[in-house]
Structure 1
Amino acid sequence: MILFYCRLNVNEIISHLEEDDDVFGADIFITPPDNWQNSDEDSGDEEFASINNLSRNQLLAEAELRVTRSSESRIVNEFVGYEKEVHSIPSTSSASQPPQPSSSTVTQPPPKKRRLEVTRKWRFVDIPEKPEKEYCEPDFLENLENPVQFFELFFDEEVFELLRSETEKNAIQKGKHAFRVTTTDIKHFIAILLLSGYNSVSRYRMYWEQRVDCSFPTVAALMSRNRFEDLLRYFHVADNNNLDPNDKFAKVRPLWKLLNARWLKNYPGDKNLSIDESMIPYYGKHGTKQHIHGKPIRFGYKYWSISTRLGYLIYGELYQGASTGNTHPELGVGASVVLDLISKLPQGSYSFYFDNFFTSLPLLEELQKMGHDGTGTIRANRTEKAPLKDPKEMKKTSRGSYHQCTDVLSNITLVRYNDNNIVTVASTQCGSEPISKVKRYCDKQKKDIDQPRCFVKYNKYMGGVDRLDQNVGCYRIGIRLKRWYWQLLMFPLNVAVNNAFQLYKISPASKKSNGTPHDLLSFTRDIVCTYFLMKNLVPSTSTISNPKSSLAVIKRVPDAVRLDEYGFPLRAFDLKMIVKNYFASQGRRVEKIFRNNIPGKDCKIMENESPATTTKKKRAQWTSQQMENAVKMVERGILSTYAAAVRYNIPRRTLCNHLASG
């Protein structure tokens, strides 16, 4: 006798549902036919099918029934079937048995994914708050002193060599065989890109113009415009001949892979991490371009990120579409993203915070099994029929009120809270106690209202990815191209500066710095200036070293300046006088080796010439009687040296000398 599980047909399932009064909900799944590969049967109208109008074939078809039974504070999901008893008849000869088809000729249908059986036991109780997870700051920060050293933790020699080799290879593939580039050129190129983030111009060619309204002589001295445009044209991070056809971001994958490894390696060790989606701006056409309504950047490439509270990006994964990333289909896409990101972290116990796109009760259970805690807002349709107050009923309550229930089997608590809106948080880290007070406007008055503990922690640690977006957006690289992958190359560069700045803030270098510590702007400028000075530049905005080029610049002045009051063009004599007056205004004279002291072909400018007129500082006027009175007032302790110097119009240094000499 053999016992095995047998599916019911649709007719038997309908009869079962009509007799059972405890059914809360039910789903019927019709199994495919045995010859599913060769079958031409129509599945029927699945969207508007009615259980009261089924064909004979549908009623007799085998099916699975998933029943949700409800009882007091308990929801049970189960499959319904019956055990069938079959008596086996032993065979007397192998010849009487029909030939068994080989496994190679018969293809079995793919296994159906059975939904997990979930049992919840809800009670109106709280869970104790778990202690904060402690961590130690990394030791390698003690040896770093300046912003460039922090930046080169991520953009090290290996990354610069990747950029150099792939850029040179791309130029050769496009026919420019004589093109050569060094890592120093790449550093200068990156310095100009970072400069465009905080000192931007409408067109990048304006950095090399010598007009009066726009002049960047340091950029022109660092790299010529043609050289910069060549690097801009051939800048690459991957070999076009060896791209992965299954990777939509194969052109930028080598750079992201290297930087992700370095971001993770130098991660400061914070145990409270936030996971969220973010956007890289892009307004062109591409298959992975996304639109997310309500985001500060609505159009662009989406990427999943895990970061610290202050905005240090630990790991970023570009989103390639719904067909990728669902590594745990039984948990969903959001949970799969969370589990994939936390698998990159070092071993340890963490507390994760995420929004309602990711949060689900099975995900929190999975995190508990891994030794982590999770807290996140959760959608109402994912609470698995928890006996929380209805949101419409919660809106009628006073601001600051909340309702809580806990699954005592999994120790997951749900707290529904009335703040600006009705929000539900699921957590395994803490519940509602201890209650905190926050300032809110109620009835046009600012009042203290209650806030559960899980909401306090969520608001404290969830904003890490938003802080990252804010920091990157402050000084985002301003030079743009029409290539679809350009922003995907510039974004990691901005993130590297941000991550270096986050490490600098917690390092001893921020406390040793003379004066005030760097903010993000001065930190970025320090990196740019360091790379600029690698070429021993001596910037001088008031020096024109080549008179011929200065004349060429003057010839390109606007017509409103170039023409005289009668509309006629200026003569060569007038242009020479303009140059002479310009040199005179700078305190420099022209050597008198030509007629009328007018610059010409043999013009020689006297360098390091001081201006002809200098103003002499006036000496203070005071009498001996004033000095005696001042000395007496200071010796008697009535006035200080500062006050006596001001009252008697005597330089303080002179007064101090008289006091010392007696």
Structure 2
Amino acid sequence: MKPIKRGYKVWCLADNAGYVFKFDIYTGKGENNDPNMRKEFGLGGEIVPKLTKHLHNKNHKLFFDNYFFSFPLLEVLQGLKIQACGTVRQTRKDFPILAGDKELKRGQFDYRSTPNGLTLYKWMDKKAVLMASNYRRIKATTVKRTEKDGKKAIVPCPQVVKDYNDNMGGVDKHDMLRQLYGTNRKSMKWWHRIFWGLLDMCIVNAYVVYKESHGSLPLLDFRRDLAQGLLTYSKERSSRGAPKRRKTDYSIPPSVRLSNTGIHWPKFIGKKGRCEVCSKKGIESRPISICSHCGIHLCCNATKNCFYEFHT
């Protein structure tokens, strides 16, 4: 039922913004040295303690779907002081008896709790939703639902449902951003796919960090600026057999002038001011552009490109 039916399975731990903190490439059933863990937690559940080692005893909240869920896993995470929540399949082992679907109206829920704090919920929306957590006690809240006529309806629900809806989906969001403008090159070598996937993962992580620190920016513009910066990045250096570059004392320090040039763009303003590069050479020039980052007047046209010389 996946849109891409064949590929490489990669386990990921991500936040709700789509930033991947850790990942592990699935290499087969023999990858784990502890067969008892797989027997107890299942294929999906055994990877959860492995990816969350750095979260032990920190009371972080962890959300996952029914592919990873098991009741023993919730108990183990509770002992590691990780607050976990996830959806449940009714066929799971040790599943308790709850109210039937016909006994619950929309917005109503039934639950069962264990003495050590594990709670299983059955909440009726348009159909039954099964969820469990090891940290959230019984508490009711509301969620918004869209009806067939487009109107918004307020539906009562357990607090754990709202927590799950607000925080789940980080891996799916990362996958969406990664595939939107993903690097796709045909190759007979299998490891090329892994390499391009990891490259796109790095770009998406950088994009998420950029949005949090600098505000919203379309992903296509970010990738374009990143490519421009990688293509034009340079710094002053000398090597054996090559003459040292001439140092020019500009009004802008090298740390700004030679920084990643993906942030430097010419803004055309007409013939105003004097070109920074031409003035150092003693040449009279009336530039028609200004650097968007440095704020320096520079020539930038088909015959004279002081803009490129200034930033390299």
- State TM-score, norm by structure 1: 0.33
SS at match of 1:299: coil
The AA in structure 2 aligned to 1:340 is: K
- Partner of residue 88 from structure 2, selected from 373, 378, 391: 378
| 1:411 to 1:347, Cα distance in 2 relative to 1, 3 A | closer
Percent of aligned pairs sharing the same letter: 28
Q: CA RMSD in A?
A: 2.5
Answer yes or no: is the 8 Å Cα contact 1:395–1:418 preserved in 2.
Answer: no
Residue 50 of structure 2 is aligned to residue 340 of structure 1: yes
Equivalent in the alignment of 2:21: 314
**Unpaired segments of 5 or more residues in structure 1?**
1-292, 512-516, 537-606, 609-662
Contact persistence 1:415–1:432 (CA under 8 A): no
Matched, 1:453 2:159: yes
Give the Cα–Cα distance (whole angstroms) in 2 for the partners of residues 534 and 363 of structure 1.
48
Structure 1 position 485 matched with structure 2 position 191: yes
Task: Quote the Cα distance in structure 1 between the aligned partners of 2:201 and 2:20.
Answer: 7
Q: CA deviation at 1:416?
A: 0.5
Match of 2:59 in 1: 349
**CA–CA separation in structure 2 for the residues paired with 1:443 and 1:528:** 45
Q: Does 1:525 align with 2:224?
A: yes
SS where residue 156 of structure 2 aligns? strand
Distance 1:442 1:476 in 2: 35
Give the SS at the match of 2:129: strand
Displacement after TM superposition at 1:358 (Å): 1.3
The equivalent residue for 2:40 is 331
How far apart are residue 336 of structure 1 and its match? Answer: 1.5
Match of 2:69 in 1: 359
Provide the C-alpha distance between the structure 1 equivalents of 2:193 and 2:75, rounded to a whole number of angstroms.
38
Work out which of the residue numbers 90, 99, 106 in structure 2 matches 1:399. Answer: 106
Alignment partners' CA distance in 2, 1:446 and 1:534: 50
Q: CA 1:436–1:494 in 2, change beyond 3 Å: closer, same or farther?
A: same
Does residue 6 of structure 2 align to residue 296 of structure 1?
Answer: no
**Residues 509-558 of structure 1: per-residue CA shift (max 9 Å, x gap):** x16xxxxx53322111111111222489xxxxxxxxxxxxxxxxxxxxxx
Q: Does 1:417 align with 2:116?
A: no
Change (3 A) 1:526 1:444: closer
Query: Relative to 1, partners in 2 of residues 1:383 and 1:442: Cα closer, same or farther, differing over 3 Å?
Result: farther
| SS state at 2:112 partner | strand
Quick one: distance in 1 between partners of 2:223 and 2:57?
33
Q: Map 1:616-655 to 2 at 5 A.
A: none
**Could you give the per-residue CA deviations for residues 445-466 of structure 1, whole angstroms, max 9, x where no partner exists?**
6532212211111111110100
Q: What is the total number of aligned residue pairs between the two structures?
A: 234
Q: Are the equivalent residues in 1 in contact too, given 2:57–2:82 (CA < 8 A)?
A: no
Question: Using the alignment, how far apart are the partners of 2:94 and 2:79 within structure 1?
Answer: 20
2:203 maps to what in 1? 497
> Do the aligned partners of residues 481 and 431 (structure 1) sit closer, same or farther apart at CA in structure 2, a change above 3 Å counting?
same
Deviates more, 1:414-423 or 1:488-497: 414-423
Residue in structure 2 matching 1:429, options 135, 155, 173:
135
Following TM superposition, by how much is the alpha carbon of 1:383 offset from its aligned partner in structure 2, in angstroms?
5.7
CA positional deviation for 1:326:
6.6
Q: Which has the higher contact order (CA 8 A, sep 6+)?
A: 1
Task: State how far apart, in whole Å, the 2-side matches of 1:518 and 1:447 are.
Answer: 32
Larger of the two Rg values belongs to structure? 1
- Show the 5 A alignment for 1:260-271: none
Report the Cα distance in structure 1 between the residues aligned to 2:118 and 2:56, rounded to whole angstroms. Answer: 25
Q: Is the 8 A contact 1:350 1:372 kept in 2?
A: yes
Higher mean alpha-carbon deviation, 348-357 vs 328-337, is at 328-337
